[in-house]
């Protein structure tokens, strides 16, 4: 065999191996592929003690939340998040063992599922891109490559910065292509020491602050020097309700929106949903506090532009910078994995590894847009608001419908390709929520509604994070009512009686 034939054979072998990476994309997961507690503990700790924590913790400092509001808000919000995963998401996942995309296809039909998957894949790539951005802020330091400063008007990084982003993004895409088991193994290795670096750096900084003001106790330092209750710059003021709402709903699409049935379909028992506590309380509790402490101390020392890599280097030296890189990866890997599965719904003839690489390319592009990371809290809120109604449909369809005499998976079983109850119950509550928020925050809606709204509506002012819960409830009510009406129509009743549906 000559060198060209060997090269061709090697290339074919690689493609064959990639094609063989099967993730049960369109059918229930096999019993022999199920995983125990350790896998999900590691995945949640790895994904949520992660790059986003170096963004969201400092955001709380910048928005002037007080120490009391911050601690109590995190406690309440994270408990609600754990209960949402454990009592809503994981029971559905274990019962059906399908990805959310194939579950939705049965309920809302292929057209709405393709729309959902396309939009969701875009948002997931934005989130994964922000995590690449987080990793690059650390890797750029030893190469003396400046990080972009969105607050100072930077709209694109330097070429060396983008080259680093390309390399980091390629590594993340390769790992995401390998599938669920490899991502889980990576998290098992990285999660334990990442937690230690996070907390050790915060403790070291607290000790420094204590040494500078020995007369102050821990709580006084937290209240006077870190979470002061005073917004920095032009940022709005955050309260207990902002923190609790954000801690609960920043992952609303994953739990209330049922996206993580794609992950928990590999669980042996629904009780493994409580593994989310390791992500919420090590990550969205401990790590938000730790990164907030680092950010406040960094700013108090006279530095500006608090980037994840720079504040981690400030608090823990080289180990902190490495932790930021790995933290970005452990979040981006499962996020890009989800994005690959989402895109595959719209491109059913493509292999999963091909669409994952395509998603990876888009992820790298978004990593090079500083506005994405700077507005991460808004992106998370918007995408939660848009996608959570679908979770209500799945819960009703899987658990309630069989108990009240309605047909589960009615759209698929009746041969329909479009579910009008789903369309109304999805877009109706979303548009209502966006109107309530937009009348006070979006310029074009402010102009359209100025002086034209009744007093009760004009005085109703709610942030995006406060709207997700009411929207979910409204979507559930509408979907139940319209589904009942649809299935009780004369033609459908006759079809059910003939045994056409079950």
Q: Quote the number of domains for the chain.
A: 1
Give the count of alpha carbons within 13 A of 481, CB side only: 8
Which is nearest to 125 in space by CA: 374, 386, 366?
366
The reply to whether 417 falls in a domain is no
The reply to whether 428 falls in a domain is no
Residue 441 has what pLDDT? 81
CATH number, domain containing residue 236: 1.10.4160.10
The reply to whether 393 falls in a domain is no
The reply to whether 111 falls in a domain is yes
The reply to whether 336 falls in a domain is yes
Residue 357 has what pLDDT? 80
d(CA 78, CA 54): 17
Can you tell me whether residue 267 is helix, strand or coil? strand
The reply to whether 14 falls in a domain is no
Residue 139 has what pLDDT? 82
Residue 298 has what pLDDT? 83
d(CA 66, CA 68): 6
CA angle 379, 423, 485 (to 5 degrees): 145
Can you tell me whether residue 156 is helix, strand or coil? coil
Bridge partners of 66? 228
Taking each helix axis from N to C terminus, what angle separates 352-367 and 308-346, rounded to the nearest 10 degrees? Answer: 140
Helix ranges (DSSP H) in 36-147:
37-48, 53-62, 67-84, 90-96, 100-108, 110-139
Residue-by-residue pLDDT tens, the chain, 502 positions = 554 444 444 444 544 443 444 455 567 787 888 888 988 888 887 777 765 676 678 888 888 899 999 999 999 999 999 999 999 999 999 999 988 888 898 999 988 988 888 888 888 888 888 888 878 887 887 788 888 877 677 778 889 999 988 988 888 777 777 765 666 666 666 666 677 777 777 888 877 777 767 777 778 888 888 888 888 877 788 889 889 988 888 888 889 999 899 889 999 999 999 999 998 998 888 888 888 888 888 887 877 777 777 777 777 777 777 777 777 766 777 777 777 777 776 666 667 667 778 888 888 888 888 888 777 777 877 888 899 999 999 999 999 999 998 999 999 888 888 999 999 999 999 999 999 988 888 788 888 888 788 888 888 888 777 888 899 999 999 999 999 999 887 666 666 656 556 5
Query: Do the Cβ atoms of 314 and 297 come closer than 8 Å?
Result: yes
Query: Do the Cβ atoms of 350 and 344 come closer than 8 Å?
Result: yes
- Ramachandran region of residue 435, left (φ > 0), alpha (ψ -120 to 50) or beta? alpha
Q: Which domain covers residue 152, as residue numbers?
A: 32-387
Which is nearest to 436 in space by CA: 400, 417, 461?
461
Residue 214 has what pLDDT? 75
Q: What share of the chain is helix, strand, coil (3-state, %, to 5)?
A: 75, 0, 25
Q: What is the dihedral of CA 20, 261, 243, 37, to 10 degrees?
A: -80
Q: Name all contacts of 192-196 with Cβ < 8 Å and 24+ positions apart.
A: 192/45, 193/323, 194/45, 194/46, 194/49, 194/50, 194/323, 194/326, 194/327, 194/330, 195/45, 195/49, 195/282, 195/286, 195/287
């Amino acid at each position: 065999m000559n060198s060209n034939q060997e090269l061709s054979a090697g290339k074919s072998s690689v493609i064959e191996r990639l094609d063989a990476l099967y993730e049960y994309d369109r059918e229930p997961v096999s019993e022999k592929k199920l995983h125990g507690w350790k896998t999900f503990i590691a995945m949640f700790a790895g994904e949520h003690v992660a790059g986003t924590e170096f963004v969201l913790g400092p955001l709380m400092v910048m928005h002037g939340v007080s120490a009391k509001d911050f601690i109590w808000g995190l406690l309440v919000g994270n408990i609600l998040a754990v209960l949402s995963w454990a009592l809503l998401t994981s029971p559905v996942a274990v019962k059906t063992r399908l990805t959310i995309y194939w579950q939705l296809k049965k309920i809302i039909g292929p057209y709405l599922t393709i729309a959902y998957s396309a939009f969701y894949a875009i948002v997931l790539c934005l989130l994964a891109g922000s995590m690449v951005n987080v990793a690059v802020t650390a890797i750029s330091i030893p190469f003396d490559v400046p990080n972009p400063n969105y607050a100072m008007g930077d709209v694109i990084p330097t070429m060396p910065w983008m080259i680093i982003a390309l390399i980091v993004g390629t590594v993340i895409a390769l790992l995401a292509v390998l599938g669920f088991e490899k991502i889980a193994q990576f998290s098992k290795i990285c999660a334990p020491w990442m937690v230690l670096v996070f907390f050790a750096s915060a403790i070291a900084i607290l000790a420094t602050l204590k040494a500078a003001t020995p007369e102050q106790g821990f709580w006084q330092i937290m209240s006077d020097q870190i979470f002061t209750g005073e917004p920095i710059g032009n940022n709005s003021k955050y309260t207990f309700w902002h923190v609790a709402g954000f801690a609960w709903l920043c992952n609303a699409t994953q739990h209330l929106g049922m996206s993580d049935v794609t992950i928990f379909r590999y669980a042996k028992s629904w009780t493994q949903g409580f593994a989310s506590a390791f992500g919420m309380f090590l990550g969205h509790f401990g790590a938000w506090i730790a990164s907030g402490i680092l950010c406040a101390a960094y700013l108090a020392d006279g530095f500006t532009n608090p980037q994840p890599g720079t504040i981690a280097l400030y608090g823990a030296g080289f180990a902190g910078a490495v932790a930021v890189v790995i933290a970005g990866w452990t979040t981006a890997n499962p996020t890009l994995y989800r994005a690959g599965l989402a895109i595959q719904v719209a491109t059913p003839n493509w292999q999963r590894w091909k669409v994952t690489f395509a998603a990876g390319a888009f992820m790298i592009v978004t990593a090079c847009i500083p506005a994405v990371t700077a507005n991460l809290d808004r992106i998370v809120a918007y995408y939660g608001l848009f996608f959570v109604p679908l979770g209500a449909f799945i819960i009703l369809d899987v658990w309630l419908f069989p108990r009240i005499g309605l047909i589960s998976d009615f759209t698929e079983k009746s041969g329909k390709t479009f579910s009008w109850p789903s369309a109304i119950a999805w877009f109706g509550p979303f548009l209502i929520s966006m109107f309530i928020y937009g009348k006070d925050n979006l310029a074009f809606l402010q102009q359209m509604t100025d002086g034209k709204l009744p007093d009760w509506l004009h005085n109703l002012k709610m942030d995006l994070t406060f709207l997700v819960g009411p929207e979910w409830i409204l979507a559930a009510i509408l979907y139940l009512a319209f589904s009942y009406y649809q299935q009780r129509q004369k033609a459908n009743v006759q079809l059910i009686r003939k045994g056409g549906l079950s």
